[in-house]
Structure 1
Amino acid sequence: MANRYLHNVRGLFDTIAPNYDRMNNIISLGTHRHWRKQTMRHIHLNDTAHALDLCCGTGDWTIALAQTISSKGEVIGLDFSAPMLTIAEQKVARAHLQDRVWLRRGNAMHLPFHDNTFDLVTIGFGLRNLPDKPAALAEIYRVLKPGARLVCLETSQPDLPVIKPVWQWYFTKVVPFLGRLFAHQYQEYSYLQETTRHFASYRQLATMFQQAGFQDVHFQRFNFGAAAAHFGTKAVAK
């Protein structure tokens, strides 16, 4: 069942890849870039760091991370969609970062890396699309070095009584309409709004981090709770 679900979701992202960046800008009114920039302020990598950007999509966060390190470090961008990675590869080339960025196709729930490999793992707007989120968090925990951090940027749900109904209306009605209007992909964006609406709340996601073993779990919310960045640290063995 999980494999079929993953196959269907991969097909969806393969389909929307050509319009993905444009639609992100339209749907979020450009605020997704602000969310990532705010999150990056909490990330401090040394020049030789080894980082992993999961569900990297078209590579924006992968590139942002790579711009903070030297060619002695590396950032691996992993995604299950080949068309998404093709676009990411073009962006990396335009940014002249081929000496420190590696793009790889793979499954975030079964990472092809050794234990204790990375100084940082990021995942942006991807966790909600994985059928087994605890498995993905366990894999991330495994490949992080002790003391290293996971940073997850995701859509979330506002809880203010004045904001919540507007947010629900926007995602249930407006987002699919925008998908049809600008990308002729109504069904695809109907699915994406459903994953957003039914994803864990910011408090539930913090609990999932803790259940996976992460310490010092905290979060920062954006746009009245429309998105949130979660942070967790892998325990250091005593």
Structure 2
Amino acid sequence: MEQAEKHEKVHRVFQRIYKKYDVMNSLISFNRHKVWRQKADCIVAAKQGHQVIDVCCGTGDWTISMAKIVGPQGNVVGLDFSDNMLKIAELKREENQLENIKLVSGDAMAIPYEDASFDRATIGFGLRNVPDYLTVLKEINRVLRPGGSLVCLETSQTKLPIYRQLYFFYFRFIMPLLGKLFAGSYKEYAWLNESASTFPDQKTLAELFRKAGFENISVCSLMGGIAAIHKGIKPLIQK
């Protein structure tokens, strides 16, 4: 799929499914996505006063989590290209009464911030939906300060026999059916299956981190490899 075509298709998907996105996330992941994000929070290791960007922030759950961690002296930018997803994120921001969040409509392929603007960056279940993975990783590296880190929580490719077949059967047939029954969005959830099934495995994604300029890359495999948390550090001295 061409980059422009993927960009437009993904935009249509998320503009449509935003109302049921959170409910469906919990349903299709058996609520595990919340546990995974809590684990990812520990790996991010953000501190009070840090500046954080949550790329492809969607409805803002990770943005809000980061804002609570960095406290009133810190700030968190939630960046997403779907205005409808950002509307939900804004409602959550207001509900949590958080003044240290800025929600920005923007493209992860061209992040609208200057070099070395952030101490930490996160991207949760969003990298697989961008037109070019490496371009986005390079952009995140660019806006991080030297010594800053990126943590990516994403679906992955399990290698376990039988489990792998069951996993792909669930994503290909069951998840779109759940999308149709509970969100009226069969085609949209069929696309999410496609994006997950073609996403790089853990080793390949770690190599993309390296190509983007990150070092000290670590990988935490989740539930037998169906998801993973990748972390990379921007070098203190740029080559």
- Into which bin does the TM-score normalised by the smaller protein fall? over 0.9
Please name the residue that 1:22 is paired with. 23
What is aligned with 1:185?
Answer: 185
Which residue of the partner structure matches residue 113 of structure 1? 113
CA distance in 2, matches of 1:33, 1:166: 22
> In the alignment, is the contact (CA less than 8 A) between 2:44 and 2:149 conserved in 1?
no
Paired position in structure 2 for 1:233: 233
Q: Percent identity, aligned pairs only?
A: 42
Q: 1:235: how far off?
A: 0.7
Structure 2's unaligned 5+ residue stretches are none
Q: Which AA in structure 2 matches 1:29?
A: F
* In 2: Cα distance, 1:38 partner to 1:71 partner: 23
SS in 2 for 1:113: coil
Distance (Å, rounded) in 2 between the aligned partners of 1:24 and 1:214: 29
- Displaced runs of 4+ in structure 1, greater than 4 A? none
How many residues get paired?
237
- 2-structure distance, mates of 1:62, 1:156: 22
2-side partners of 1:167 and 1:4: how far apart?
27
Partner of 1:167: 167
Q: Report the AA paired with residue 233 of structure 1.
A: I
Amino acid at match of 1:83: N
Which amino acid in structure 2 is aligned with residue 200 of structure 1?
Answer: P
CA distance in 2, matches of 1:112, 1:83: 19
* Alignment partner of 1:44 is 2:42: no
Distance 1:42 1:49 in 2: 15
Within 5 Å, give how 1:1-238 maps onto structure 2. 1-97=2-98, 99-237=99-237
Verify the 8 A CA contact 2:156 2:202 in the aligned structure 1: yes
Match for 1:112: what amino acid? Answer: P
Cα shift at 1:51: 0.2
Uncovered stretches (5+) of structure 1, i.e. residues with no partner = none
Deviation by residue 1:147-199 (Cα, 9 ceiling, x = unmatched): 00000000112111131111111111111111111111111100100110110
One-letter amino acid of the counterpart of residue 144, structure 2:
L
* Matched residue SS, 1:72: coil
Distance in 1 between residues matched to 2:158 and 2:45, nearest whole Å: 28
CA RMSD of aligned residues (A): 1.0
**Counterpart code for 2:33:** H
CA distance in 2, matches of 1:169, 1:129: 20
Paired AA for residue 35 in structure 1: W
- How far has the Cα of 1:52 moved from its partner? 0.1
CA distance in 1, matches of 2:155, 2:185: 20
CA distance in 1, matches of 2:85, 2:208: 28
Compute the displacement of 1:45 (Å). Answer: 2.1
Distance 1:214 1:175 in 2: 34
- How far 1:2 sits from its partner (Å)? 2.3
- The SS at the match of 1:120 is strand
Matched residue of 1:71: which SS?
coil
Q: Deviations 1:3-27 (Å, cap 9, x if unpaired)?
A: 3421221111000000100110110
Rounded Cα–Cα distance in structure 2 between residues aligned with 1:169 and 1:152: 25
- The amino acid that maps onto 1:59 is G
1:42 match: secondary structure: helix
TM-score of the superposition, structure 1-length normalised? Answer: 0.97
| Shift of residue 133, structure 1, vs aligned partner | 1.1
- The code of the aligned residue for 1:46 comes to K
Secondary structure of 1:114's match? coil
Q: Provide the rounded CA distance (Å) in 1 between the counterparts of 2:44 and 2:109.
A: 24
SS in 1 for 2:111: coil
